[in-house]
Structure 1
């Protein structure tokens, strides 16, 4: 049964006014969609990046990237390299000065040159200021979107004033919304494609300056092109963020093969380090049966034995793992990473006292590694020996000098100070651990308590005060 019509409030908007409002809202929504920037694949899949730390692999990545950054006139000390726990092949730049490398990119790169080529491309984005330029482009796009929105709203209003029907006005609103936004979207995507091509060309120039081949870059991107070629046949080339595969590979082949170092190969020592890094990742990230298939018992190479030793301590008997690690150490006693693995396996097995000696050895062989100092400090705390607390604090402080954002180091430091009865220092370390874990509310609470226990103006008081008065940056 139809309900009777309600009398309209004279102060409420008319149907035509409400229609104009909906049209403006639609334009705003489309404008926002038009300026969205694609996010890395792994961020799309999981919604969150999961960084991992490893001193050996980070050092290798730094050794790969530093010559390229110098060739690009980029300060290597200003760029952070972050490993991501993701076994897909991906690397990308974010925040202007951070290079993210998936563990899968290392494993899937059969040679150092392949991964170095990818890094050269990413450094091309940094040197080219592409992220900053993209932000400016987005701001321009937003301005254009606002103008288009206003013009579209004006057109709808004009149609309404001329007595056009509701359906015609709605159609005009839809056209006003989709037309300008589609142009803006295509313009942005065209700009992104041009940045990718510029990064390719810049990357090849850095490889040339450092006497390296661009063959690895070409091999990687050709592989991507082969995988995407089928789907690319059905895509609008003007709606893609990267150049069409054939177009990109043709350009890259031309500049890569004409470079003077195209036939250069990686040094054998570098290839060995790369193979060891790949084996370590596979040992830590893959199930035991997968590791056995990749590195069967018949394979007696160092990478194979390294992977099996890692797997043995993760899934098997720690004593058996120790025998395998000791065999590696016997042949290469100068490797800090074998000593680190021995200490890590013992520490995680609850044998902190036994872990101290191999970790001391690892630190002596690689004294500039903050991560090794931190692990040694943690093992000293975990021994439960009060006589080791001062040494533990010294090691943790040494490590934090290089790894100032390590929440786990601050937690161990808080334990050490707490056992010594230094409550103010323990509260401050706990606050710093919470801060670097992202729990700002807890960090402020603990910092306020620490601040009340320090003398006003003391170094600890000032550090606590910084946390208490911290304000997150506005995005």
Structure 2
């Protein structure tokens, strides 16, 4: 498992800055932000071959039923402990690690994914942009007129004029907010109905979806007593849960259970997340030594390799392999433990076996490539290069693959390709300035007009975003 971290620092904003931000954001959403050539930094993401494969298995039947099988919709795991899932475009469903950890059954998280698929199938993001565009023009004009009145009041000292200007600014802002919140509430109801429809069409129960939203409703019920019911981005919990319960119980699959093998994989996924994210005391509380299940042993083995004696961890991992000798991810864990213990040569065999067993081994092959390169053995480096090249074709947004390619080329003294791969790694990390600098150097090393020269020229010619220029 790998992850990216990006600290988020809260910033204080003045009322004027908030007003400008609101007008700007509304206009951009209404008009559609221009496409940019550069890669921008996003939220902290968790990459893991085992978890991503399980989520693919969860979503593929839903996406086929929704008519989205050809759109290459991916589930992206956010490194956040809270329970949340959302869509930001028509090809990615974002789900927090906390949502996976808190879902006790496959059916519960599948219900959430079905709901988010309903948003994509319904074109809700595009419709939201249209709704905001229609509500924006007149509101912006009114706000600008209000701002002009405030300026005039400041110059003349007129209190009444200033109050009128403030009201003119606040009125359209509240109107936009109420319009958009009402629209979002309707979309959530539509996504619920679509999610139940998709689950029923695939022979799955909507009970997990109902259980999840019921639990969330119970958690926020007290808070909502004191909030304006209209100012909810979702329908009121009691109303929404009641409507969802009726839809879900009408399905002939209401009492349908998850297959035991799928539940076992789900338990392993949750154990893996707890093992990697929680500290040892938290893992011990959730998976005490008295729990001898495979999932509990998995969590304890991960925690041991991260925080304890590597020899103890390797013994626990070996026991997992003996229990499931065809599980590729136990071999992957063994290889990762060796690699992070500074023993890349010993990591090669288990990682190679994991890549052979895994249905989608690209992420494992990147780690195997890292182990091969770290040995500084010419034969291993020669093996790593085509493996990493193939991996980046399947995982083009993974900076680690390009970084390992750069080191492999560097060991072979192929400085042009080493620089190009380093520039690509920087680009994928969102570091446009570094990507341009290294790409310029790579471009000078390649023959003019060669494929490498063209790629380097593309990166060297990138224009950073305007906000980056002002930093």
Deviation at 1:29, TM superposition (A): 5.0
Asked whether the 8 Å contact 2:144–2:169 carries over to 1, the reply is no
Is 1:429 paired with 2:421?
yes
Partner of 2:75, secondary structure, is strand
Question: Which residue does the alignment assign to 1:14?
Answer: none
Taking the aligned partners of 2:224 and 2:310, their CA distance within structure 1 comes to: 50
Deviation at 1:191, TM superposition (A): 0.5
Asked whether the 8 Å contact 1:186–1:239 carries over to 2, the reply is yes
Taking structure 2 as the reference length, the TM-score comes to 0.87
Question: Which residue does the alignment assign to 1:128?
Answer: 122
Deviation at 1:313, TM superposition (A): 0.5
Taking the aligned partners of 1:26 and 1:406, their CA distance within structure 2 comes to: 36
Q: What does 1:23-422 correspond to in 2, within 5 Å?
A: 32=23, 35=26, 49-75=43-69, 78-149=72-143, 166-366=158-358, 368-422=360-414
Asked whether the 8 Å contact 1:427–1:449 carries over to 2, the reply is yes
Taking the aligned partners of 2:271 and 2:149, their CA distance within structure 1 comes to: 64
**CA-based RMSD:** 2.6
Asked whether the 8 Å contact 2:49–2:360 carries over to 1, the reply is no
Deviations 1:49-78 (A, max 9, x none): 210110000110111111111111113552
Taking the aligned partners of 1:321 and 1:26, their CA distance within structure 2 comes to: 52
1:165 to 1:441, Cα distance in 2 relative to 1, 3 A: closer
Deviation at 1:441, TM superposition (A): 1.4
Taking the aligned partners of 2:18 and 2:330, their CA distance within structure 1 comes to: 60
Is 1:457 paired with 2:462?
no
Deviations 1:304-339 (A, max 9, x none): 111111111011111111111111111211110010
5+ residue gaps, structure 2, are 1-15, 30-40
Taking the aligned partners of 2:356 and 2:18, their CA distance within structure 1 comes to: 63
Which deviates more from structure 2 when the two are superposed, residues 128-137 or residues 206-215? Answer: 128-137
Taking the aligned partners of 1:70 and 1:251, their CA distance within structure 2 comes to: 25
Pairs aligned (count): 438
Taking the aligned partners of 2:141 and 2:375, their CA distance within structure 1 comes to: 67
Deviation at 1:112, TM superposition (A): 0.3
Deviation at 1:358, TM superposition (A): 0.5
Asked whether the 8 Å contact 1:431–1:442 carries over to 2, the reply is yes
Partner of 1:86, secondary structure, is coil
Partner of 2:313, secondary structure, is helix
1:165 to 1:320, Cα distance in 2 relative to 1, 3 A: closer
Partner of 2:230, secondary structure, is helix
Question: Which residue does the alignment assign to 1:22?
Answer: none
The structure whose RCO (Cα within 8 Å, separation 6+) is larger is: 2
Partner of 1:204, secondary structure, is helix
Larger radius of gyration: 1
Asked whether the 8 Å contact 1:66–1:76 carries over to 2, the reply is no
Which deviates more from structure 2 when the two are superposed, residues 352-361 or residues 165-174? Answer: 165-174
1:190 to 1:318, Cα distance in 2 relative to 1, 3 A: same
